[in-house]
Structure 1
Amino acid sequence: MARLPCPKSACCSQTGHQMDQNWEGRSWQPGRDIRCRHFYKILAVIHFIVCVIVVVILALTCRDYKQFKVKYSQLEQSHNCLQTNYSQLEQRYNHLHTNYSQLEQSYNHLQTNNSQLQQSYNHLHTNYSQLEQSYNHLHTNYSQLEQSYNHLQTNNSQLEQSYNRLHTNYSQLEQRYNHLHTNCSQLKEVSVQTLDRVRVLLNAVIDNGISSTCPVGWQEFNKTCYHFSAERGHWHNANSSCVAKNTTLAIVTSQGQQNFIETHDRDKRWIGLTDLEQVGVYRWVNGDQLVMGFWARDEPNNAGVERCVTKGARYDPNKWNNDVCTTVHQWICQITRFDYVARQFGLEVVLNQ
């Protein structure tokens, strides 16, 4: 074995440079050489042990590596299998979650339908109870109606017999009525002729002055009697007062009548003209519509408020004015001479023809 130089360690206390000088200047020393050989032997053993250990470690590492590689392959396969299972499980989860959402919606819809159905059921149950009560009541009424029907059937038979008897009597009465109607027609013709003669006679009595032609205190103009009241009242009182005397409020349809009532006085007096039936449409108390009026300037006015008419206006006492019907005024009544005389003789029937 070749001799190695002494390493820089504890067995050589001098530096390498000094050793070279000692090798060159001194002779070989056997004792120091032995110590170096022992050192190298120990170092070789240590190196061998380290190599063995390294080899053992490498062997173990190689064995573990193979085992680890096998386990890694198995683990990789397990990972791939697990990844596949995870993907499948994730798909199943998504599918299940979708089904769950749909099922939840169906559940909510079903819950709503169930609530509505419950309400419908309760309502139907209430209606059923009411209908059952109505049925029982109707059944009771039906029984009563059936009894009434049987009773009515009996009465109907009796009524039919009475009807037949009444029909026979009606035929006989109709014959008597026709006979009486014929006699009445003949009598009516005689009555008309008689009334005409009475009218002629009354006119003759009036024209010849045989009877008073107007009531006492009344004034006559053109065969008509007029009464100018001293008392006062609203229009309805005035109308009632005239009717109580079998007369009417004054109906002025000519210029002559207007001139006559103008000359009596300048006071406001109710006449028989109003628009009480229809606002703006003036009618006389006998129902005739106004044709010719003798209104003051700007009259009539205040439609719907002033609805009754007076002789005499505020600024023109000779013309007409519409006034509030509850205002208090005097009034004018009138009656024809013929009507007055006919009532004196008790011949009101003549006035109704």
Structure 2
Amino acid sequence: MELQDIYENVANDDIKDTPGPPTQNHSQDEGKDGKCRGSRCLVLMTVCLGLICVLLLVFITLYITTTAERDLLKSYKNTVEEFNHTINSLQDKNTDLMTEKDQLKNNCNSLNQKKLELETRVNELSVEKSQLQGSVDASNQKKLELETRITSLSEELKKEKSKQGNLCGPVCFFMSSESKSWSESRQFCRDRGADLVIINTEEKQRHLTSFIKERVWIGLSDSETEGIMKWVDNSTLNQGFWYEEEPNNAGGDEDCVELMPSDSIQNWNDLPCSAQMKGIFSSDGFGCSHPAVPCCTTAEPDCDGAGGSSLVLITVCLGILCLLLIAAVTLQHFQCTSQRGFLWGPDGLFMSNENKSWSDTRHYCRDRGADLVIINTEEKQRHITSLVKERVWIGLSEIETEGIMKWVDNSILKQGFWVDGEPNNYRGADEDCIELDPQHTLNNWNDLKCSEKKKGICEKYGSSCFFSC
């Protein structure tokens, strides 16, 4: 509308400025000019509308572009924030992984060290086993040799018995251990299945004289009938070996006979039966392990084949028993050490041989009459630390009540030996059971999850490994 008004004003001005009356040509020219002006106005309007459309299109385009860029920038900002958050989270995880890596590396080093120690221990046990096996083999060989020797001695004994025939038989002599009267000495012998000795040959007299070092009773007396000497088997004396001017019945009551130590075989003497001295007694087949004092020697044929051989046989048997006992104790010790793992002397401490949870390890100890160790003194703490080479369970936990540490005997902890910062229930985990870490000298306790797998220190008071595995 404004442009049309402008054009109408311009046309009116031109008419006003033209002098004189208008002519027809002039009117025609004006008509043409009006048409031209209208066409120009139309073109100008079209151009203006086109420019407006272009500007509007540019504006719309810029608006859309700006809005898209703003949205993209906002999306990029959100993406950057998420990325930063992800980076922080990854950094935290990386820190945790590095920490875990260090722990795993330490555990790996510890396991490698333990592996070397176990390999060394296995080698030592293998050597010890080989030595023990060698000892057992040597003992078995010795046993076979002794059995062969026993068989040989038995054969010799049989041959000696055959040579002796009925001369004296397998007789062994013994001396009583206390000084008594003649009748008491005889009763002492009879209580032991024997009797005072009967000397009816010169060989037997010489034999007894050869080893007697003190005055002793023999089985001869005339207590029943004065002047008639009889042996304890009621046989009458046929041959005597009396000391000079004996028997003399001095004092009128010397009814019993003694044998005096002498270089001569003539060494019998009569004495009152109440005199106190030891006695010589014998018994056919009497065992040389009898509590009476043995006095058999190898000088007399009567005892060389029977008593002497029996003594050698018994000595050999005792030797075999000693060797077998030593072998049994040695094998028991080896088996006990293998079963328990390690034993540390009479204080009853030993280590389990398998990695288990705290409760399973405690069951392992209790199945063997023990329990997880209670450490209530610094001395004991130092002692156990010096023994172990790996992290182990001890008998302390807070399973019943969180924050209240109790030993396996239900006593409350009074003195602890904690690593710095422990117990800490790390990251809220249920670390209710206690381990001992020997990497630290004294303060080496740490709380852990009870499900962790470790060996444990067991304690059994007043015990030893032998026969109590």
Q: Normalized per residue, which structure has more helix?
A: 1
TM-score above 0.5, yes or no: no
TM-score bin (small chain):
0.3 to 0.5
What TM-score do you get using the length of structure 1 for normalisation? Answer: 0.33
Q: Which has the larger radius of gyration?
A: 1
Task: Compute the TM-score of the two structures, normalised by the length of structure 2.
Answer: 0.25
